[in-house]
A and B are shown apart, each in its own frame.
Chain A
Amino acid sequence: MKVYKKIKFGWIALAIVAITPMSCKKQLESEYRSNLGPEYFLTASGLQAGLNASYATTRFFWGSEGFTSSQVAGTDEVIRGGDGGLDFHNYTNITPQNGTIQSIWDNSYVPINNLNGILELGPQANVDAAVKTQLLGEAKFLRGFYYFLLVQNFGNVPLKLAYNNKPSTEDLRSPKKDVYNAIIKDLTESVAQLGNIQAGQSKGRASKAAALHLLAKVYLAKAWDVDARDGDGTADFTKAYETAVGLINGKTTYGVDLEANFADVFREGNEYGKESLFVADRNTDPTYSESGYNNTTAPAGGNKENRLNCYWVSFYTLTRNVNEGIPGAPAVTTQMAARDQVSGRPYRRYRPTPYTYATFSNRDNDARYDGTFQKAWIMNLPSTQDNNVQTTTPAFTTTRNGVAVVPVKGVDTAIYMPGREVTVAERQRFKGVIIAPSQYNTEWFPTMTKHMDKTKQHYNDASDRPILLMRLGEVYLIAAEAAFKLGRSADAANMINVLRSRAAFRTTNTPAQNSASVLGNQISSADITLNFILEERTRELFGEMNRWLDLKRTGTLISRAVLYNEMAAPNIKDFHVLRPIPSASQLDLLTNRDQFPQNPGY
């Protein structure tokens, strides 16, 4: 019987031996291969991919119609054209349900949490130290960038600086001051970590110059805001001024400079030019730039395409009496131009207010009106439909001094908007049709050309152009505004005069003519007022999607909208300086709703 026992225990031992290798801990380890998880940010490629995604979020904003409206409409500069949503123009539907505002909220917090993940996991990643410094610097830049967007639009917002691995249905709004301080900390560190711009570099990536630009603007915004600033704001205005001037003075080091010719700043193909600091990047690859091509390819993500090339275009293809303003000539109503690549797709969402036209006052010495607006539409009829022209349309005939005239295709100007009133004689002398400011309406107005795209594949396509979000020109205006608030009008005038000197330059002028224009375009410290600075911003930055926040920052949104915008005037209220916290994606989902107040008025 002993033998049996040995056998018996032998079996048990064998069984135990068989199981032992399957250690307990190993059984319960997780293994993921189907999808990537947050731990991907511990790798070099993961860090970069995380940043890429956080940059890409800018495409939800710049280029989309809703966001563009929220940044330009309802201000002194822009009024609605013949088409498009009314919400931001007349302030009637700025509600917690507004989808555009919800998108600003939702789509800012996504990259913020992503960047929190990168900034938390990145320092442990096995990446070359120099590369890591640059990457984490970019991450800090972007986190500051998105928080700045949030704090300007919404005021107090939840401030999250750590990766969220514990989803919660409770949240609180942090004071603006804390948010601003966090932004300034991020940007200050990113200035130290980021590199200078190298020649030919894409501006879709943050640089030291971009971080300085943003930091200066953040100081400026903070300084204006009585709830956010330190003391009376002097310290913050000073920092804004010093940061801006530091960038200007060090521009060679940072790899930036002003363009000699204002019109070159937004010249198609020059998006990475020397004045450009930061862009929402795009290229001609429809897949990666997520913008529609050939009028058929739906862009990936749909709402991320860049349609800025369409929103500002007037309805130049509308039929009109070609003999309007000429006594005795027959009324001939016809189309004068076909939709084409050069003049763009007439979405006519935005048109300039009379204030805007009036502000571009010194047009002889200042080339910025001509550098901003389209004045002439070259004859493109008769046309045969192809990728460059929309319809097959015959030429038109005008009657000038009793004689039938057909403007020559490709040579003569079919439509001309000189930006001033004209005499009958001048109309008689002109083969095509002149539209003077008194004839402007919701459909007929000069097209703002900064975002036009003449090289896309099809006349209906969205744009493949990167969108300039920061440029050196604005830094002078930031410095000027800060200087003005510090009571240093002379410094402010000096800054503005740099831009005005550049604005005087025309390639068509002789050097002597240009020098004369420079003299005729200078200002003195006596000219410096807040209104003047805001007008200068219009002249320099019209259409660059800063205006709503500029007016909000300077506390002039309500007064200037009432004064200059006939659509906004009846409805705009004091509380409109902040956007409502979205209800569907934030307030309704909170379990501590009572501790998370809506902005006043909504």
Chain B
Amino acid sequence: MRKPRQKIFLQCTVMLILLLGLTPTLLFAQNVLSGRVLDEKKLPLPGAGIKLKLSGKTTVTGDNGTFSINVPANEKTLIVSFIGYPAQEIEIKNGVSSYNIVLTPDAKNLNDVVVIGYGTQKKSDVTGSVAGIKGDALLEVPAANPIAALQGRVSGVDISRNSSRPGAGGQIRIRGNRSLSGTSDPLIVLDGVPFNGSVNEINNDDIASIDILKDASSTAIYGFRGSNGVILITTKRGRIGKPQLTYNSYYGFSQVRDQFNQFNAEEFVAFRNAASPAYTAGYSPLEQQGIANGTSTNWQDYLYKKGFVTDQQLGISGGSEGINYSLSGGYFNEEGVITGVGFERFALNTTIDATVNKWIKIGLTTRNTLTYGSGAGVNPLYATMRITPLAPAYNPDGSIYLYPQDGTVDQTATANPLTLSDRNNIIDRTRRIRTNNVLYAEVNILPGLKYKLNLGLDFRQENRGTFYGPKTIIRPDAATAAQATASISNGESWTFLAENILTYNKTIAKDHRIDLTGLFSIQRDRGFTNAFNGVGFPSEAVQYYNFFLAQTITAVDGGATGFSRGGLQSFMGRVNYAYKDRYLATFTFRRDGSSVFPVNPYLNYPAAAIGWNISNEDFMKNQKIVSNLKLRASYGVTGNPSIPTDATRGSLQSNRYNYGTENVQGYYIGSLANLDLRWESTKQLNIGLDYGFLNNRITGSIEVYKQNTDDLIINKQLPRSNGATSFFTNAAATSGKGIEFNINTLNIVPEKTNGFSWSSDFNFSINREKIVRLADGSTQQDVGNGWFVGQPINVIYDFTKLGIWQTSEAVEAASYGGYSAVPGQIKIADLNGDKIINDQDRSIIGTFQPKIIMGMTQRVSYKNFDLSVVAFSRLGNKIVAPYLTTDGGTSGYFAFLNGRVNQVKVDYWTPTNPTNAFPRPAGGATSLPYSSTLGYFDGSFVKIRSINLGYSFPSALVSKLGLGGLRLYATANNPFILYSPFVKSGLGVDPEGTGVGGAIGNNAIANGRAITAGLDLPSTRQFLFGINAKF
């Protein structure tokens, strides 16, 4: 054991000697300075960095914030820095050897550094539209992933929830939608490397900051990937100081905010009676018994349980001369309010930054996650809500009553929701492994000239297996294991990125600051997925573990399976110029080449921006009101990377033939190649004003923008003499414009109120998008796809419901051609007045685009207590509740208002209840004509997203415990909905979506782009209790 140790010691010593030898040693006379660094609450800040400006010598504060450092005689300035605080320069005064330095947090500081693409910039130098949020602020909403936490926090970023499931992300739109067929999702860049895949794999706690690039000048450096905006996520790294251990943890529980209102037994009997005689099946023996016994079962009571959530994060970070490091491990687990639905994440991260010498710095970030999602395909809501309330949940002997629809046609279509606990027969597990690594080397070539090599390697693997065994609510119709279904899919993909970045900054003649960035980068992606389904297992014990035992195995084609590969090569150059810190200019040029385009792979993306720091002008020097005023303008071109697979190449389709007994497969050209296809491109003009008043107690910005997206890719029909039906081409155009506003105020500062402080952030954004052109100049609408020139991209095109035909209107109701109605049926507006109800009577009756989005955060602190409240609002958008419609198919609620099954309680029409809300049960027929009109609602809401109350223990007490800091907190997530017409109507529980698509087809809503509030896991209210500890 001795020898290796000696060896290491020797090595270290040699290295130390080398390092010391390489460091220019200064032999001047020295003084010893000492002092203490405190935070704004006058609490000591251990681990703060102290740097001598001239010599570059550094030290770090100790446990109680104290430091001491030898200072050469010629040294004039100390620089004190701490993460989350602006660096402060302290003048070294002759004869003063002790300094008490108080740092104030940097939330609104203009010297704050923001992350921009391929670098960072002082906030006062930024010319584009960049919005950011710091990690601490993000943690005010404890959530499974950063996107969920970001909702309502940044203006111009619309995050609409599209799933109520544990760990679900959300649909992110930066300045609205632009593309018709392609994605409008922004590019996520994690520590400089484009990030593909699930945001669930980013641990909230590891995030130092999120910066969002919104305008074209900022995003143009991401070229063809920039038009949907860019979200830059920067994670925490180690900094100089002794090892610091942090432990953050919370534990909590969740419960459904509300159950769906359903008919109870008495109401159900009345409802079914109202549906008769059109509903002919009457009551099953079991139901008759239920009526006699007074049974009234609320099946949702047997469906929901209390969910729980926990997050455990342990981190250690520190650094000494030359080497900084951080390690963190995290565990997150959320169990949903329905058995078998949950999300679990293990995370392990390391960062190392090694300054080899004055010239070279090398570092590594490695971020590894393992996630388990369960129950992605498990949704028993509909199956539960349709069960008759007249049936009991249990048999007299206490066992589960398996088929409560016994004796009806739905006998084998529904099983008791209590069967969800059959964990051997309902399995749906998705496991993802991801390792995301960035290795960098930085070389200081000459003063101001720096070369950086970034190598990124991201690998992810996903495995999903499902098994739906017999006699459960998921597969009630399967009586035996032989009817059970299993599926398995496996996929992997990797991304490799190599970036060469050359930066040069120089100040010329004092007043001219120039900052140059050049980039050459290469990226490759490759991935594939295989998926199989199996049926006919000998025993449910097999689950999805041995497909050899299945009778039938089918390979899944399309969507889930396949192969993808991408290659990208880019050149980028950027010039930032500042004159006297007043006049700013940025020019960017990017040239991207992609493997997607076989003929001419390169496209160019130029952008320019100018800024004027008005507050730095001399004429502003003598006033105290305006502390910051900056006007910015930018213009640029960006692209959208989503190109349908094979769009440029054409693809074959298959058919079958035989020559006598010889069976053969045929292949023919299904879609034609389009070698001229280009990326969709967006031109955007942005004008912004940053302001700060009263010593920056009031800060914020206003942005206005206009964007035109052209060359949108659509699948265009071809004259068939081409030999194919359609091809992908750049034909359509959209435009958008909007206003974003945010204001951050320090309402009460602690210095004047004995420790009481209050600050507020408020933002709102308004975006209006519309389609400018479709397939060609003369095409005004594409009903099949739901696109209309002059309208937003996602609209509802359907009939207009006027009400319900009343008894007195029988003659008029019957007088229409096409839809000759009887009283009690839906009254549809005959828009063109031709006395015929047909397709011509459809019109655009709403859009999913909100009129305004707002967010607000209030923070109050008094002494050791802190309280924050985050509110979020979307107003003026429609949502669709498919369970209030019926189409007899898979989208609507099967047998809605038919009397056959139970459903959400609605105000239905009867001759004695002449409502205009919902039609007569069974409608006089077996299906409800025009029922899609029943499902549209105002999706506006104002919600409190989170209330967070914390208590930080006094430092004296904390020190006694041997800790560096200790805070306890309690959080309520989603505690209230302050305003929602939909929830108020009693027909739904949450105006935020549970999914995208799934509304009734019939061209009412195009293409599954609707945000639907459907029967999925209801939204929950969460209560968390947590601790933040520093050692």
Contact = CB atoms under 8 A, between A and B. Distances in A.
A117 B669 contact: yes
Contact of A40 (B656, B664, B667, B716): B667
Contacts of B564: 34
Contact of B500 (A19, A31, A201, A289): A19
A171 B654 CA distance: 27
A158 interface: yes
Contacts of B22: 4
Contacts of A319: none
A563 B250 CA distance: 92
A168 B663 contact: no
A165 B666 contact: no
A28 B719 contact: no
Given A29-B567, A590-B719, A37 B658 contact: no
A273 B67 CA distance: 105
B659 interface: yes
5 contacts: A56-B655, A165-B673, A169-B716, A281-B660, A586-B720
B658 A204 contact: yes
A22 B601 CA distance: 17
B368 to A, nearest CB: 24
B614 interface: no
A46 to B, nearest CB: 7
Contacts of A7: 357, 359-360
A380 B516 CA distance: 95
Contacts of B727: 167
Interface in B660-713: 660-669, 672-676
A33 B563 contact: yes
Interface in A475-523: none
B652 interface: yes
Interface string A279-296: 001110101111000000
B443 interface: yes
Contact of A27 (B524, B561, B659, B662): B524
A30 interface: yes
Contact of A8 (B445, B565, B666, B674): B445
Interface of A: 4, 7-8, 11-12, 15, 18-19, 22, 24, 26-38, 40, 46, 48-57, 59, 105-106, 109-114, 116-117, 157-158, 160, 164-169, 171, 201-202, 204-205, 272, 281-283, 285, 287-290, 300-301, 582, 585-587, 589-591
A18 B358 contact: no
B569 A38 contact: no
A53 B670 CA distance: 11
**Which 9 A-B residue pairs are closest in the complex by CB-CB distance?**
A113-B723, A53-B666, A202-B660, A52-B666, A34-B562, A33-B563, A288-B663, A56-B657, A53-B668
B650 A38 contact: yes
Contact of A32 (B360, B568, B649, B720): B649
A586 B664 CA distance: 31
Interface string B354-388: 00011110000000000000000000000000000
Interface in B102-144: none
B92 interface: no
B552 to A, nearest CB: 14
B441 A28 contact: no
Contacts, number: 231
Given A110-B724, A113-B722, A287-B663, 7 more contacts: A38-B652, A114-B669, A164-B723, A166-B676, A171-B722, A283-B660, A287-B656
Contact of B453 (A18, A54, A283, A591): A18
A287 B500 CA distance: 56
Nearest to A59: B657
Contact of A53 (B453, B645, B655): B655
Interface residues of B, number: 72
A486 B257 CA distance: 91
Interface stretch (B333-341, B572-580, B591-599): B591-599
A157 B721 contact: yes
Nearest to A58: B657
Contacts of A32: 563, 646, 649
A577 to B, nearest CB: 21
B54 interface: no
B428 to A, nearest CB: 25
B181 interface: no
Nearest to B443: A11
A54 B445 CA distance: 65
Contacts of A205: 659
A55 B359 CA distance: 71
A266 to B, nearest CB: 18
B397 interface: no
Contacts of A8: 359-360, 443, 445
A589 B595 CA distance: 31
A281 B659 contact: yes
A202 B659 contact: yes
Contact of A54 (B666, B718, B722): B666
Contact of B593 (A28, A110, A157, A169): A28
Given A4-B359, A40-B652, A117-B669, A282 B658 contact: yes
B666 to A, nearest CB: 3
Contacts of B661: 202, 283
A55 B675 contact: no
Nearest to A50: B667
B995 to A, nearest CB: 26
Nearest to A110: B723
A363 to B, nearest CB: 35
A106 B719 CA distance: 9
A442 B494 CA distance: 69
B498 A22 contact: yes
Contacts of A168: 718, 722
Nearest to B662: A202
B783 to A, nearest CB: 14
Nearest to A60: B655
B314 interface: no
B190 interface: no
A38 B669 contact: yes
A300 B658 CA distance: 14
B729 interface: yes
A54 B668 contact: yes
A37 B652 contact: yes
A164 B718 CA distance: 12
B667 A46 contact: yes
Contacts of A27: 522, 524, 567-569, 593, 595
A204 B657 contact: yes
B651 to A, nearest CB: 5
B723 A4 contact: no
B909 interface: no
Given A4-B358, A56-B656, A111-B668, A37 B722 contact: no
A53 B667 CA distance: 5
A589 B718 contact: yes
Contacts of A587: 719
B668 A50 contact: yes
Contacts of A55: 657, 666
B721 A586 contact: yes
B651 A36 contact: yes
A116 B357 CA distance: 66
A176 B776 CA distance: 32
A20 to B, nearest CB: 11
B674 A167 contact: yes
B359 A109 contact: no
Nearest to A29: B595
B257 to A, nearest CB: 42
Nearest to B564: A34
Contacts of A117: 669
Contacts of A165: 650, 672-673, 675
A458 to B, nearest CB: 20
B1031 interface: no
Nearest to A46: B667
B646 to A, nearest CB: 6
A28 B566 CA distance: 8
Nearest to A290: B656
Contacts of A112: 723
